[in-house]
Chains A and B, each alone.
Chain A
Amino acid sequence: MAPKSSAGKEKLLGDEDEVLQAVILADSFNKRFRPLTTRKPRCLLPICNAPLLDWTFESLALAGVQEIFVICRSHAEQVKSTIAESRWSKPGSGIKIMPIMTAKETFSPGDAMRDIYTRGLVTGDFVLVMGDLVSNVKINEVVKAHKERRKTNKDAIMTMVVKESGSRHRTRPTGNSSVFVIDSETSECLHYEPVMGYPPTKVAGIPREILAEHPEVEIRNDLIDCSIDICSVEVPSLFQDNFDYLDIRRDFVHGVLTSDLLMKNIYCYVAKEGYAARVQDTKSYQSISKDILSRWTFPLVPDNNHPAGDVYEHRRGNKYIAKDGSVVLARTSRIGNNCLIGPSTQVSEDVQITSSVIGRNCVIGSGSIIDNSYIFDGTIIGAGCVVEHSIVGAGVEIRENSRVGKGCLVGDGVVIGPEAVLERFEKLSKKRETGDDGEQEDEEEDVDSEEEEIEANQEDSIKAQLGSDCNAIVWPREAPDEDEDEEGVENYKNQRFLRLGLAFSTPSTSFFFCATGDDASDLEFTDEGSLSSDEDSDSSDEDSDSDANFTTLPTSSATSLTLENSTIVAASDAVAESEFRAEVEQSLERAFAEGHSVDNAAVELKTLRMASNVPLSRVRESVVSAIVEKIQIVEGGGVPQRQEIAKVINRWGPLIDKIGGVDAVETVSILQTHCATSERLPLFAQILVALYQADIVEEVDMRRWHALPSSKGAGEEPGPRRDGMKKCWDVGAALLEQLSQQESDSDEDSEGDDDDGDDDEEEEDEEEELRRGPRRIEQLSIIK
């Protein structure tokens, strides 16, 4: 039969295709969801009533992935058994899933990648995702594009999938986003800069070479990094080679792109269609829940393809109610838009639920209000409770008339109330039972030690607030001191941008929101009137103050805070830099003395730069100053001095351009600043001319330098340095004038009458001019 045979053929063709492999890093490597994640890994936290990992599997299945390795670290056994029991391991799922347990010492994605390498898991191009991905992007098409690119360019090792979003988008993390510099034509990623909310990243540096080499670049900060990477086999081995790579973006991508030695390319795929985002913090947990409920992830929506296999009915207004007939909704209950209610849940009378997700087997007591909250399975909420903008774990009991403020995280099994009041951003977890400690401690030592500590620090006053039946411990709201030194995104203050309960959009607006929110909570405190809560309100006042400060006045307090830090950093930097400078001087001295070739000297400088990790401009500074200092001052000046300068510049000048980037404007500026304070100030003009003659600096560059405000000495403290700068600038002005005179002369020579040499217009002329230049300039009378 014809159709059958064609189907068979299709299958054959499918077999010939390489199996598409994916690696899921099922560990978060951070603690943003604590205390929800003390007893189970983040990838098993439910979002819209299905574990995150199932969403990830489904996202990958949608993209045609056939083989998945799940790298688990914390609670690995739990992940493994969950996978074994899930529908994915049943026949007919069409996907092979293999859990891989890594050592407890795997502390970063980088370590996990090294583990992948040592185990030799992947055989070809693979998809690397995190265990908290929700996506409907057609990854298989990205893979196709990636493979196509690999055919022509072996160095294209990775393709990152990014999703376009506006600058103010709920799903774009404000505390942890990034700047991508992309070649608009080839969509090659040229540069990557991480952006943080605190300390606020205000400047993103882009190497000049990028702008020089690529005619058109896009610099974008409006992309959601989906953490879907199509990687070639080389990627794990690169991690192996560079043992200090920890984060895939901040270290690996940044490292590969800035490295002069690796010569690898990374590409971006800007997904125009489809949705992809990561649940990387409580804030994105909320926004992705909302995205799922408003169907951006279609066909991955609760009523169509719910990863946990539950069946939901979709009603007008994006309300999803479990369809097996087990949900009980009281007639007077009000379910607002964008809600999901799991099977066997009971909603009593006069309950109001808006934009929330309620798990399975929950009971919501009469008259409760649940707003923008996420309630996991089996939780009981008593009558008259208010839960706002919070995540409530599984099996929690919130007794009647309690209030859970914005941004709270309530761990599994907690009992609070009756009449408990949780402040904003409170974190609760269940007190450990002493019985089962023995087992757990082996497994989760680090976790437990922290928990113990917190437990030991519990105050009785808090206890009183949480109601008589409470079994919870309260996590400290400020990070413990030793964590203060945690750098980067895990910094406590930056974390504030990443948590639930803030208004979406930009930091500044979110903090306005914060401030007003706090006002409201102040009012509530006055209602309470008790001593303990007064104390607390004070502390939260301070809290709000600091919040308000670093938004409304980003310049004053925020910068003062950063300054403290930056002085320390600067101090340590200064030490490193002076070391570097000394090394460069030595190396150059050696080069000068032993007469190395320029190329060899350049290689040596490059290695030095790598070793001490300094920006290119520092190297340039050192080189220029070393060269200038090399020039001997000839008494009486005149021709011998000029010859001396020409000799040095001709011999060593080319080195300036070989240190890793050409930037003549900077060279002149550096020369100026160096000469301004050096005894070789009188030689500035001659050196500049020599550089010009050696083709290291061109007239255009000089003009540009001349136009810079800093060249005039703007922003300098008045003093000898400024005077020197000014002098140099004047000299430059005179030089340029002479040059343009010459030009107009020559123009007149060649073409009779012409407007004065507009160098930008006629490049032809300019080049000619340059060739003729040297001879003419020699005839110039040099000022001073």
Chain B
Amino acid sequence: MASDPQMLANQRIVEDLASRLRRRQVVGSRQAALETLLVLRQVVSRARFSNVDQLVDVIRSVGRRLVDAQPKGRAHSFLYEYADFNHGSFITGTSEHSVGNTVRKVLHHIREEYHTATEGSTPAPAPTFSIAKFVSQGQPRKQQTVQKNDAAKVPLKENDPDDPDSFARTLKPVLMEAIQDVFDELETVYDNISKNAKDHIHSDEIILTLGKSKTVESFLKAAAHHRNYTVIVAETAPSFVFSSFHDHGLTRHFTRYGGREMAKSLSSAGISTFLVPDSSIYALMSRVNKVILGAHAILANGGMFATSGALLAATAARAYSTPVVVCAGQFKLTPLWNLYHEYGALDFGDPSSVLGFEEGDLVDKVDVVNPYYDYVQPELLDAFITNYGDHPPSSIYRLLKETYDDEDNEL
């Protein structure tokens, strides 16, 4: 298998990303996904393997290390003496789920490429009903039509004792291409999501959104090309926005009051925008036609983690039967369940944005919690708009099954 210097080099880049994730220097799910992909690409390009299982093992171990770096993403079990409940392994706290998702996605692609390469001679099974295509006219994936013929030409020799590298040599270019596909998908995710924006937003509608989400921002801006509508932005005090500025790897730019930034950006794009405090969400809800939210992670049951305040908005919307639409890239699909933490994602930031540290008297006497995310149950949501088409919460499980392989659910 891989020789020591390579392992060492791998370890270094993996550890580097792991510690940056732990130090929250990489923030934002898309940013984390991109960084993960960069690491995986290096790992794959360096890896030496003579069959596909070895490769999968290498990638999984890297994935495990990265997910462990954020202790919350990891399944855990905790022994309560005489505990009477079954501790499930799919507990999720959150930090960047997109890291694990990206690893799963890459694994899925690798297996797919491997299958097309080995069974290339047999006619590729006609793609069965895919939910992505069933619900919308979402694009079929490119590579399924294109490369099959060339790949089939080179016979793959697994576990060749004479030339152990031959397998890797033949497969690697295809694999790199597969990773590049994931990469491209991430690059274009905003465009693909906002492609159908005009079908969701109609003229003279009033849209309510919460805080700052890049996805929602580009979605609304895309709709503004075709429609004339009004946006109400709740300022989501004091939650952070992860602006993904990049300065020498030290990315830790939190801006408070993401809603303010969002409102500024939208109004500069010519959309008529109102900025309101969170407390007035319910009062305004009767006038709102649609609530559009961003997600941090979409869970297997169709629920989601979203910036704190999302639950408030979704519940208010339910009271007025206002539709709640979630815009999110497919990399946010997470094959995990939220079992225990009914309302919170259990990722808490520091209290300083809620209570200033200089308030010496209060600091000692008050316990301040500053959760990053709300858990919003699937019952409160109406539709997910992803770059793989639009789906109701109830069919997310199916989308997950198509996106990832079952054996990767736990890395």
Contacts and interface: CB of A to CB of B under 8 A. Distances in A.
Interface of A: 1, 3-4, 7, 10, 13-14, 17, 61-62, 64, 90-94, 136, 138, 140, 163-172, 222, 273, 275, 290, 294-299, 301, 303-305, 311-318, 321, 323, 325-331, 337-338, 504-505
B162 interface: no
A163 B358 CA distance: 9
Contact of A92 (B16, B77, B348): B16
A304 B70 contact: yes
Nearest to A338: B367
Query: For B15, B93, B360, which residue has the most chain A Cβ atoms within 10 angstroms?
Result: B360
Given A64-B248, A92-B13, A298-B350, 4 more contacts: A138-B250, A325-B76, A325-B79, A330-B81
Given A13-B248, A92-B14, A166 B76 contact: no
Contacts of B53: none
11 contacts: A10-B249, A13-B248, A91-B11, A164-B357, A170-B363, A311-B76, A312-B71, A325-B78, A329-B81, A330-B81, A331-B81
Contacts of B74: 311
A337 B24 contact: no
Given A91-B8, A92-B15, A295-B350, A138 B252 contact: yes
B80 interface: yes
Contacts of B13: 92
B78 A327 contact: yes
A303 B77 CA distance: 15
B23 interface: yes
B321 interface: no
Nearest to B14: A92
Nearest to A302: B71
Contacts of B358: 164-166, 169, 222
A166 B81 contact: no
A318 B369 CA distance: 8
Contacts of B81: 328-331
Contacts of A312: 71
Contacts of B352: 273, 275, 296
Contact of B350 (A3, A94, A275): A275
Contacts of A62: 23, 25
Contact of A295 (B15, B41, B82, B348): B348
B56 interface: no
A305 B79 contact: no
Contact of A299 (B23, B249, B357): B23
Contacts of A17: 248
Contact of A313 (B41, B76, B367): B76
Contact of A94 (B16, B38, B71, B346): B16
Interface in B11-54: 11-16, 19, 22-25, 38, 41
B127 to A, nearest CB: 28
Given A92-B15, A326-B79, A505 B364 contact: yes
Contact of A505 (B8, B72, B360, B368): B360
A169 B361 CA distance: 6
B360 A318 contact: no
A349 to B, nearest CB: 9
Nearest to B78: A325
A606 to B, nearest CB: 41
Interface residues of B, number: 52
B24 A299 contact: yes
A14 B70 CA distance: 26
Contacts of A165: 357-358, 360
B173 interface: no
Contacts of B252: 138
A303 B359 CA distance: 25
Contacts of B16: 92, 94
Nearest to A315: B346
Given A3-B183, A92-B14, A305 B22 contact: yes
B154 to A, nearest CB: 23
Chain A interface secondary structure, helix, strand, loop or mixed?
Answer: loop
Given A92-B16, A93-B15, A296-B350, A323 B364 contact: no
B35 to A, nearest CB: 10
Nearest to A314: B346
A145 to B, nearest CB: 15
| 8 closest cross-chain pairs (CB), A and B | A92-B15, A169-B360, A166-B360, A298-B350, A299-B24, A92-B12, A305-B22, A168-B360
Contact of A297 (B180, B350, B364): B350
Given A169-B360, A321-B78, A337 B71 contact: no
A171 B363 CA distance: 10
Contacts of A275: 350, 352, 357
B308 interface: no
B102 interface: no
B95 interface: yes
Nearest to A326: B79
B349 interface: yes
B155 interface: no
A364 to B, nearest CB: 13
Contacts of A168: 360-361
B270 interface: no
B82 A331 contact: yes
Given A299-B22, A327-B79, A167 B349 contact: no
Nearest to A138: B252
B140 interface: no
A507 to B, nearest CB: 14
Contacts of A14: 248-249
Given A295-B349, A318-B367, A504-B364, A304 B78 contact: no
A304 B21 CA distance: 10
B277 interface: no
Nearest to B356: A164
B351 A296 contact: yes
A716 B68 CA distance: 76
B357 A296 contact: yes
B167 to A, nearest CB: 23
A298 B180 contact: no
A303 B71 contact: yes
A166 B357 CA distance: 8
Contact of A91 (B12, B78, B80, B364): B12
B37 to A, nearest CB: 9
A205 to B, nearest CB: 26
Interface string B340-377: 00001010111110000111110110011110000000
A556 to B, nearest CB: 29
Contacts of A61: 19, 23
Nearest to A93: B15
A268 B364 CA distance: 26
A316 B347 CA distance: 10
A421 to B, nearest CB: 29
A299 B250 CA distance: 14
A311 B361 contact: no
Given A169-B358, A294-B367, A314 B78 contact: no
Contacts of A290: 364
A294 B351 CA distance: 8
Nearest to A1: B180
Interface string B61-91: 0000000101110101111111000000000
Contacts of B77: 325
A140 B38 contact: no
A456 to B, nearest CB: 42
A172 B360 contact: yes
Given A318-B367, A321-B78, A328-B79, A304 B95 contact: yes
Contacts of B23: 61-62, 299, 305
A747 B78 CA distance: 90
Contacts of B70: 304
A431 to B, nearest CB: 36
Query: For A312, A337, A504, which residue has the most chain B Cβ atoms within 10 angstroms?
Result: A504
Contacts of B68: 311
Contacts of A138: 250, 252
A318 B368 CA distance: 9
